[in-house]
Amino acid sequence: MEQPVNAYGLQMHPMREALYSELHSRPFQVIPSPARITHLAVMCNSDQSAAQFEHLKELYEHFGVTPPENDELCYHADFGKLRVRREKHMEFTAYTFINTDIEQGGNPFEVTGLTPLPEGWLANIPGTVLSAFHISVEDSRQTQELNLPLVKRFFEGMRLVGSSPQDGDARVWTTFQTHSDSFGRFLIYNKQMSDSQLGRLIQRLIEIEVYRLMCLLSLPTAREINPTLNAMDQKLADITDHLAHSTDIDEQALLGRLTDMASWVEDCRARATFRFSATYAYHDLVIKRLEELREDEVSGHLTITEFMTRRLTPAVKTCRATSNRLEDLSRRIDRVAEMMRTRVELSIQSQNQELLASMDQRSKVQLMMQHTVEGLSVAAISYYTIGLIKYLLDALYNTGVELNKDLIMGISVPVVIGIVAFTTRKIHKHFLKLAIDQAAKAENESKV
């Protein structure tokens, strides 16, 4: 790939511009007061993400704006009084609708960021909504901040969480619960923040709400795994105790049980490892955003940081403890299984030694039998050879050759026996030497 050259003739890295753009891909928004904002976090796969882009184009066409041609990580569309922002994250897509065509007074959640949307468009967004909430921004510089009983009525009487972020430049009320419309609610009174500061504050609140829900996605998995994890832990303890105190052990049966336990642990790890890792990452982001709020306490109410610390952190610790227990159980099963395999290997080696000893004993018996057979074979071969010599002498004698058959037969007996014994012994040594040479060759090859 050819590298670009700048005006100074310097060779630039081909990804340099992309790396610069990445830092500006999701800029903070500038939000005026008052405003009505609605945020959605939609879980989706790759096919649904592509369908969401086509669905977004319909909104452009409705407002008479030319839709974009290519899908990108972040889109920001301005339709006059309605601004729409769509961001693609690893696991979800975020939609932010900002409605500035409002008047202060009355119920701050009667008009929302969804009010200007065409009918039916919202319901057709591909994917599953995880987080959905309204943010109502009121300008305290133009109107007086409402009293607490009235604020509580806007949240349908639920217990409030109050905060004065940015060193008291704003007042935030929420419940971190869903209301009758299945949406959460945030009410912000802007005391002396600029539009840019307000945009950053709202972005932090959005990320806190979305990331804390993403963080909690692994909690049901942890609660599902824990009871079985307790049972598996007890089973492993029983197996270990049996190995330590029992002499009558069925190694194959125990290895089968350990294999079943290891399969369950690996299945849980495959299902939960990514989710647990994501939980820790989202939790770190939530804590970071809480620190950036720089909250002051509202008398008589939990702050956002106190609420999150009290409710979210124990859930994350539960997930972390479950993950650590899974890893610990996996290691312990591996150690016990390795010990069992060692016992089986030692048992097999002992059986092999007994078998080799038995084979060695049989070899000695076979060798003795072989020597016996060799002796008998010498006698048999000599007998038949002498018989052939006798037939030869009879034939020569009958043809008129004068010879002493008895003398020749007497002399041939020891000579034939000696020759047969010598030949048999030489053949035996030849095969023995061949076997020794082959064994030495095999040993040298194994060493190499």
- Domain map (residue ranges) of the chain: 25-193, 217-352
Residue-wise pLDDT for 18-45, tens only, equals 787 777 777 888 999 899 999 999 999 8
Name residue 268's amino acid.
Answer: C
184-190 and 170-174 as β-strands: parallel, antiparallel, unpaired?
antiparallel
Digit-by-digit pLDDT tens for the chain (448 residues) are: 455 666 777 888 888 887 877 777 778 889 998 999 999 999 998 899 999 999 999 999 999 998 888 888 888 889 988 999 999 998 999 999 999 988 877 789 999 999 999 999 999 999 999 999 999 999 887 777 777 888 899 999 999 999 899 888 899 999 999 999 999 999 999 998 999 999 999 999 999 999 999 999 999 999 999 999 899 889 888 888 888 777 777 777 888 888 888 899 999 998 899 999 999 999 999 999 999 999 888 877 889 999 888 889 999 999 999 999 999 999 998 888 888 777 777 777 877 887 877 777 777 667 677 766 666 777 778 778 888 888 888 788 788 777 777 788 888 888 888 888 888 778 777 777 777 777 677 667 766 5
Positive or negative CA dihedral for 181, 185, 191, 192?
negative
Overall pTM > 0.85:
no
- List the one residue out of 173, 207, 170 whose CA is nearest residue 189: 170
Contact 170, 189 (CB under 8 A): yes
- The tokens for 276 are 């647990």
CB within 8 A of 303, min separation 6: which ones?
Answer: 161, 162, 163, 295, 296, 297
CB of 147 closer than 8 Å to CB of 288: no
Among 236, 307, 294, which residue's Cα sits nearest to residue 265? 236
Residues, the chain: 448
Contacts for 414 with CB less than 8 Å, ≥ 6 apart = none
Predicted pLDDT of residue 379:
77
What is the DSSP secondary-structure string of 340-388? Answer: HHHHHHHHHHHHHHHHHHHHHHHHHHHHHHHHHHHHHHHHHHHHHHHHH
